[in-house]
């Protein structure tokens, strides 16, 4: 294990050790050691191209790792398929919202509920009464979840998501990630494309959700330093795929390396 | 909860159904090319006017929540038209062909409309069903109804070989693989003497417990064409296939297929096994196409490789594109247009591919979702939140 602060001896929920990812000659992640502790919100910051999203993609199995290990909740998830990572309890959102715009809010959320729904052919096609019960239960659950974010939205569950503004899409994308009750939620720049007020509103929602889902751990990639300062308990700063600093926002903001690399202060 | 009763809309709907049935009878009945062209123009104009005044949309909304009513109206309408033309073999053959193509297109719709797996070898899978039924009726004593399902199973089985290269490629590359398969299939038939080579094969007519489908029926002195048998059986199979496809769509399976089509990466991040769902859609789709083929061969009584060209595959794909990708009802309209119009309007028979191509291009340009666009998934139509 690396010599990073270990949060009073707690065992991290997610631990990357010596994690590297190379795209040809480009080093996207360079022997990264990163720990995420349970029940915390960890901010992942750094300049563009510093490897934040790559870290998400490697963790969730979209890219295979080049070297190193990722352990989640006691299970080695290095190079597991995206499907297996999801089943293990990690859900994510995407930098450029990847909702299916032609589908309804409910449909989009149910895509995220895949592992908890009965996917058997016989169940789905022949046992319509049983299917109906599962459908109605899932609907109530999804509606309650959406209500946490925005009550009016919960009355429009069967409208196509393509007709909603960006903030609602972000909300639904987070709902899609949360419906399966993951242990770890990875948020990739949830404020992208939104106004200051919308961002504030969305962050309130995220904090409320974290309160409701006891034991939810969040990693958030964010460029808005105000957001990071407000909602994270710990931050990790990346530059050129390496960790250059970590700690509470106040600490890293004072860090000279961080200032040079990121905050733009000479 | 069910949708509230609405007697006025119900009356309007039944009125509209009567008008449509009368129109279809007229269109199928007249012979003069000028009258047919006039009727087609009048039909298009009437639909355009009705759409302009919101009648089409209102009917769609009303029927959208009343599956049973719509299904009943369509089956009843078909039976009325069949009864009207009970002695006219040409018209009945046309109707039976539309029904059988509709079943095949439901299969294609599962593949292409839901999971996004392109299949430009529809005619080949249709042909596999045809040849299965030719060989099995000639050489085995298997009950003919079971042979229909064997035709479907055969198409599904051969499709499961083709799915391997299809899964390893993306979008248009996999489309090219299916095109190659379709061409190979036709060449295979032409050089295969056991399957009749280019001359083709005779197929025995459907025989259910001594009821010979291919002989005319005499009901109280009225001569009824044998095609009525195939229309009735076709309707039964169609009802089964339609219910099946509808249930697929209105379940988590349909949602999975949509998710795979719309964004594979996002779907994979939520645990969907992309391969599993593509194989599911491809196999189930081919089963329906093969089933339709098996019935078609028995009805025609004779099949040859020239029935299963790339052009025929394109017709099937055009039907799905034209009708409204993912909307089973759109397929009825499109099948009727693409099968009936060239047969009735002999003047355009030779140019039909040119015309189909033009129609598909126009649709893709101005109405990319097809004539009857698919609506959002309603798992249980008419279901209201409490």
Q: Where are the domains of chain A?
A: 1-89+183-197+215-266, 99-181
For residue A240, with 0-12 CB atoms within 10 Å meaning exposed, 13-18 middle and 19 or more buried, which class applies? middle
- In CATH, which of 2.60.40.420, 3.40.50.300, 3.20.20.60, 3.30.390.30 is domain A1-89+183-197+215-266? 3.40.50.300
**CB-CB neighbors (< 8 A) of A91 in chain B:** 269-270
Give the closest of B273, B377, B380 to A107, CB-based. B377
Identify which of A40, A84, A69 has the alpha carbon closest to the alpha carbon of residue A184.
A40
Q: Where are the domains of chain B?
A: 1-84, 88-366
CA distance B226 to A35: 76
Q: pLDDT band at A213, cuts 50/70/90?
A: confident
CA distance B201 to B213: 19
CA distance B318 to B357: 8
Class (C level, CATH) for B88-366 = mainly alpha
The mean-pLDDT minimum among A181-190, B278-287, B308-317, B350-359 falls in B350-359
Give me the pLDDT at residue A7, please: 52
User: Which residue from B minimizes the CA distance to A178?
Assistant: B270
Give me the pLDDT at residue B283, please: 94
For residue B5, with 0-12 CB atoms within 10 Å meaning exposed, 13-18 middle and 19 or more buried, which class applies? exposed
CA distance B114 to B101: 18
Report residue B316 as tokens. Answer: 């099937």
**CB-CB neighbors (< 8 A) of A160 in chain B:** 376
For residue A233, with 0-12 CB atoms within 10 Å meaning exposed, 13-18 middle and 19 or more buried, which class applies? middle
Q: Mean pLDDT, to the nearest integer, of A177-201?
A: 89
Average pLDDT, chain A: 88
**CB-CB neighbors (< 8 A) of A102 in chain B:** 258, 262
CA distance B147 to B136: 7
Q: Mean pLDDT, to the nearest integer, of B162-191?
A: 88
A62 touches chain B (CB under 8 A): yes
Average pLDDT, chain B: 87
Give me the pLDDT at residue B181, please: 92
CA distance A56 to A96: 14
Q: Mean pLDDT, to the nearest integer, of B204-222?
A: 75
**CB-CB neighbors (< 8 A) of B249 in chain A:** none
User: Which residue from B minimizes the CA distance to A82?
Assistant: B269
Which one of B64, B249, B255, B273 makes the best mutation probe of the A interface by having the most chain A beta carbons within 10 Å?
B255
Does the pLDDT value for residue A3 go beyond 60? no
Report residue B62 as tokens. Answer: 């009303």
B292, B129 in Cβ contact below 8 A? yes
CA distance B376 to B201: 45
Q: Mean pLDDT, to the nearest integer, of B180-200?
A: 87
Whether residue A111 and residue B255 make contact (CB cut-off 8 A), yes or no, is: yes
The string of pLDDT tens digits covering residues B302-359 is: 898 888 888 889 989 999 998 888 888 888 888 988 888 888 887 777 887 888 888 8
Q: Closest approach of chain B CAs to the CA of A147, in angstroms?
A: 15
State the Rg of chain A over Cα.
19
Cα torsion through B149, B152, B153, B155, rounded to 10: 160
Give me the pLDDT at residue A263, please: 61
B142, B372 in Cβ contact below 8 A? no
Give me the pLDDT at residue B1, please: 39
Give me the pLDDT at residue A183, please: 92
pTM: 0.90
């Amino acid at each position: 294990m690396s010599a990073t602060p270990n949060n009073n001896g707690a065992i991290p929920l997610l631990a990357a050790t010596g994690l590297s990812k190379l795209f040809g000659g480009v080093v996207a992640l360079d022997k990264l050691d990163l720990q995420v502790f349970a029940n915390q919100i960890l901010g992942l910051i750094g300049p563009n191209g510093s490897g934040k999203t790559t870290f998400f993609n490697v963790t969730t199995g979209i890219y295979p790792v080049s070297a190193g290990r990722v352990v989640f909740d006691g299970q080695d998830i290095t190079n597991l398929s995206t499907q297996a990572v999801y089943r293990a309890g990690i859900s994510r959102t995407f930098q450029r919202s990847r909702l299916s715009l032609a589908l309804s809010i409910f449909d989009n959320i149910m895509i995220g509920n895949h592992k908890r729904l009965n996917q058997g052919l016989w169940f789905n096609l022949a046992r319509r009464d049983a299917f109906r019960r599962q459908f109605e239960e899932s609907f109530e659950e999804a509606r309650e979840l959406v209500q946490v974010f925005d009550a009016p939205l919960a009355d429009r569950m069967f409208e196509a998501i393509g007709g909603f503004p960006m903030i609602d899409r972000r909300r639904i994308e987070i709902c899609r990630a949360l419906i399966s009750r993951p242990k770890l939620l990875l948020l990739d720049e949830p404020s992208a494309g939104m106004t200051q007020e919308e961002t504030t509103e969305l962050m309130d929602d995220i904090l409320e959700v974290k309160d409701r889902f006891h034991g939810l751990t969040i990693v958030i990639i964010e460029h808005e330093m105000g957001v990071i300062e407000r909602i994270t308990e710990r931050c990790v700063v990346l530059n050129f795929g390496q960790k250059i600093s970590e700690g509470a926002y106040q600490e890293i903001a004072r860090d000279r390396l961080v200032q040079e690399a990121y905050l733009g202060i000479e | 909860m069910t949708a509230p009763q609405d007697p006025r809309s119900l009356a309007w709907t039944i009125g509209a159904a009567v008008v449509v049935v009368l129109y279809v009878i007229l269109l199928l009945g007249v012979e003069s090319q000028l009258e047919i062209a006039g009727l087609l123009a009048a039909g298009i104009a009437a639909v355009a006017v009705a759409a302009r005044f919101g009648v089409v949309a209102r009917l769609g909304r009303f029927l959208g929540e009343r599956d049973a009513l719509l299904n009943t109206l369509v089956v009843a309408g078909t039976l009325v038209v069949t009864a009207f033309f009970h002695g006219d073999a040409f018209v009945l053959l046309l109707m039976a062909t539309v029904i059988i193509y509709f079943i095949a297109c439901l299969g294609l719709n599962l593949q292409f409309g839901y999971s996004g797996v392109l299949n430009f070898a529809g005619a080949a899978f249709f042909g596999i069903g045809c040849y299965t039924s030719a060989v099995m009726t000639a050489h085995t004593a298997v009950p003919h109804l079971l042979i229909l399902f064997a035709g479907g199973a055969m198409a599904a089985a051969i499709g499961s070989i083709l799915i391997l290269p299809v899964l390893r490629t993306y979008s248009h590359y996999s489309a090219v693989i299916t095109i190659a398969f379709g061409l190979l299939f036709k060449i295979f038939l032409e050089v295969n003497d056991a399957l009749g080579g280019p001359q083709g094969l005779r197929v025995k007519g459907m025989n259910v417990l001594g009821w010979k489908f291919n002989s005319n029926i005499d009901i109280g002195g009225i001569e009824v064409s044998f095609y009525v048998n195939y229309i009735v059986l076709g309707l039964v199979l169609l009802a089964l296939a339609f219910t099946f496809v509808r249930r697929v769509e209105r379940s988590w399976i349909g949602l999975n297929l949509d998710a795979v089509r719309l964004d594979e990466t996002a779907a994979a991040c939520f645990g969907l096994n992309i391969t599993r769902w593509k194989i599911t859609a491809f196999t189930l789709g081919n089963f329906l196409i093969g089933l339709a083929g098996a019935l078609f061969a028995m009805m025609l009584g004779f099949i040859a490789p020239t029935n299963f060209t790339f052009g025929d595959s394109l017709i099937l794909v055009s039907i799905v594109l034209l009708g409204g990708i993912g909307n089973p009802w759109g397929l009825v309209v499109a099948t009727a247009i693409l099968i009936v119009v060239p047969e009735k309007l002999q003047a355009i028979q030779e140019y039909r591919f040119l015309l189909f191509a033009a129609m598909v291009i126009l649709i893709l340009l101005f109405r990319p979702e097809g004539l009857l666009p698919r609506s959002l998934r309603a798992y249980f139509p008419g279901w209201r939140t409490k």
